[in-house]
Amino acid sequence: MSGESPTMVSTIDPSSDAADWQLRLYVAGQTHKSAAAITNLRRLCEENLAGVYSIEVIDLVQTPELARDDQIVAIPTLVRRLPKPERNVIGDLSDADRVLGGLQISPGVAHAGAPRAA
Amino acid sequence: MKTVTAVRAAKRLPTIERARTGITGFDAITSGGLPRGRTTLLCGGPGCGKTLLGSEFLARGATEFGESGVLLSFEETAAELTANAASLGFDLAALEADGRLSIDHVNLAPADLAETGSYDLEGLFLRLGWAIDQVGAKRVVIDTIEALFVVLPDEALLRSEIRRLFRWLNERGVTAVVTAERGEGKMTRYGLEEYVSDCVIVLDSRVEHQTATRRMRIVKYRGSAHSGDEFPFLITDHGFSVLPLTSVVLGHGGSHKRISTGIPRLDGMLGGKGLYRGSSMLISGSPGAGKTSVAAQFAAAACRRGEQALYIAYEESPAEIVRNMQSIGLGLEDLIDRGLLMLQSERPTGDGLESHLVRLHQLVDESAPKVVVIDPISAFRGPAEDITALLQRLLDFLKGRQVTTLMTSMASSNETLELSGLGISSLIDTWITIRSIEANGERNRVIDVIKARGIGHSNQVREFVMTAKGLDLPDVYSDGNGIAVGSERVARETELKRRNLEEARALEHRRRSAAEERTAIEAQIATLQTKLTHEQALAGELEEAIVAIRAGEAAGRSAMAQSRNVGANKRRLPALDGRR
């Protein structure tokens, strides 16, 4: 995210609105934690959800009202918007296994296009 | 003037600026409100009123002091908060619609949350900051931030973030209230009191003697003298009501004006003029001694002076009192109809003593009486020290308004009679007992003044009678061992009447004899007077005759000298014979 102009929504892989996995990452400004979370998330998705995901990054410094609307407290917060139900993972996403567990991503899910039954 | 000085002195003391809350009694116990621009920790157990107090702080801030607020709630939703505040008479929804209040319910859903790597609570800061900016908030309530500990596992991180939050709130310059749950053996479960250095208030709700009592204590208030006392409070439909212990000042004016007790001869025992206005009187007595009658007479006397009277009865209904007082010829109905007398029946045990005290405050506020009757204080139930504290606060409150108070107290027997007032004796200015004495097969009442501050009072024990004509203290018949009462007094009165009658007859007899004698003497005087008149007349005639003779002699001498014809005096003297 560093170097980008401060925009409300920064979408990586913008063509994937219809993606099976829609993830939203809430950050606050251009902090080390935010940058780490974005990097970690992008790598995780490429490794496990290649071609079936979209990531939306929301900077709450720019749009603080979304913190209330989306019930955000901790930063960074990753929200799995699809598939339902929503799940939240907080932190800089440095522990890949925990992130995968939190998002309930298991090997092969990318090809199946859906999470395993919880 | 004393009170004014005391208030000024109290106002000089605080160095921290206050944000007034407008909450009844709260600003008094905090010398003006919460520390402005600082954070106050409000702790207490579940259901003790933390959230409601916070809501009222914001609502009054917006409506009375023009300061908008933010309510950040971790537990109750905006709808729940609005409904609860409505029970206190505050319309949070309207304030929100006006842009004077922002309610943000932080919904923490722990089941869907995973944690990986480092994070902070910047999201919370941002949304709180946004809410503050939205309404231009000067006041913030966070209720209850500890909920985060349940959801987020990293306690060390939470502590540092909460510490940062408090610092941030100070930097924003908002007057904040942060609530926290009471912990076992600690002020708060997660020790948040460590992070708040400005003001810590503890709320408490206890059930004692089957009644719930709520109390508030200021544990800490930096830069300000504060009392560590527990202040009872009540949650009413007008919001919180905190009862300050005003007795610490004792700045009552001390009127020199006196008012009648309504019983002239009792006034006579009290130096002839009755009670000091604004003083307190206790009438203690055995059952049926006539305490209520004295109290009602006192209230009625005030009404007849055109003063407002409030009569609080714990054992009888207004209708019963009106009816019963007719037996002593006291008509209260007219006084009630004219709006001078307010007869109010209360049940002191229905709610806690504190809430009852609040109720009494409200009644006094509403009717603004000059005299108040509390009949009887022995109806209060609870630990003696609590009742004493209640009466002390009540009397302080009433004295502060120059209200003259009469309280009755029931003693189960003559033995306990004097004890019945001991606990509160120091609070009472004038203490009168009515005892019942059994002798000669009958029961009679005697009244005496145990004490009367500042009044040269009678030391006599007097009989006290209640008749259809009213209350009276009959004349005293002392027999050397005590006073005669009841039929013995009546017998003595009869004997005295008989004696008086006999004496009167004897005197009448003497009066008549004397009158007869006087008549006789007057007759004699009249006879003598007549004689005297005759003698005086004779004496006059003789005098005239003598004068005539001397005149004749003189004329003769002169003629003789002319004619030399001497001595031919042929005039005769008047005959004296038969004249006497």
CATH number of domain containing A93:
3.40.30.10
Residue A117 domain-assigned (yes or no): no
The DSSP element (H or E) to which B580 belongs, if any, is none
pLDDT for A38:
94
- Which of B117, B123, B148 lies closest to A91 in CB terms? B117
Question: What distance in Å separates residue B231's CA from the closest CA in chain A?
Answer: 37
User: Residue B76 pLDDT > 50, yes or no?
Assistant: yes
Q: Lowest-pLDDT range, A22-26, A89-93, B53-57, B395-399? A: B395-399
Q: Where are the beta strands (DSSP E) in A3-111?
A: 9-12, 21-27, 53-59, 77-82, 87-90
Most confident of B121-130, B393-402, B432-441, B556-565: B121-130
Find the helix packing angle between B291-304 and B318-326, rounded to 10°.
90
B104 touches chain A (CB under 8 A): yes
- DSSP-derived secondary structure for B32-69: SSEETTSEEEEEE-TTSSHHHHHHHHHHHHHHHS---E
Residue A50: inside a domain: yes
Q: Which residue has the higher pLDDT, B297 or B567?
A: B297
Assign B104 to helix, strand or coil: strand
pLDDT for A116 equals: 44
- A57 close to B (CB below 8 A): no
**Phi, psi torsion values for B149, nearest 5 degrees:** -65, -30
Tokens of B210: 């089957």
Tokens of B399: 């004295």
Residue span of the structural domain in which A39 resides: 9-100
Q: Kindly report whether the global pTM for this prediction surpasses the value 0.80.
A: no
- On whether residue A105 sits in a domain, the answer given is no
- What total of structural domains would you count in chain A? 1
User: In one letter, which amino acid is B122?
Assistant: E
Q: Which tokens in the block code for residue A25?
A: 């990452």
State residue B68 phi and psi, 5-degree precision: -70, 165
* Cross-chain Cβ contact B123/A89 below 8 Å: no
Per 3-state DSSP, chain B is made up of helix, strand and coil in percentages (nearest 5) of 45, 25, 35
Write the pLDDT tens digit of every residue in B139-173.
999 998 888 888 888 899 999 999 999 999 999 99
Q: Which residues contact B179 (CB under 8 A, 6 or more apart)?
A: B41, B42, B43, B44, B50, B51, B54, B141, B142, B143, B144, B145
CATH fold of the domain at B2-248 = Rossmann fold (3.40.50)
Instruction: Report the chain A residue with the minimal C-alpha distance to residue B154.
Output: A91
Per-residue pLDDT tens listing for chain A (118 residues)? 444 433 434 444 444 456 789 999 999 998 888 999 999 999 999 998 888 899 999 999 999 999 998 899 999 999 998 888 888 899 999 888 888 888 888 755 544 444 444 3
Phi and psi angles of residue A7, each rounded to the nearest 5 degrees, phi first: -115, 160
> Nearest-CA distance from B61 to chain A in Å?
23
Pairing of strands B465-467, B470-472: antiparallel
Q: Does A91 touch chain B (CB under 8 A)?
A: yes
Show me where the domains of chain B are located.
2-248, 258-474
The DSSP line for B524-562 is: HHHHHHHHHHHHHHHHHHHHHHHHHHHHHHHHHHHHHHH
| B108–A86 C-beta distance less than 8 A | no
Q: Domain for residue A112, yes or no?
A: no
Answer yes or no: is A107 within a domain: no
- Choose from B424-433, B474-483, B515-524 the range with maximum mean pLDDT: B515-524
- Domain B2-248 shares a fold with domain B258-474: yes
A24, part of any domain:
yes
Q: Is A109 contained in some domain?
A: no
CATH number 3.20.20.70 is the correct assignment for the domain at B258-474: no
DSSP state of B575: P
* Positive or negative torsion for Cα B272, B308, B358, B36: negative
Tell me if A111 is assigned to some domain: no
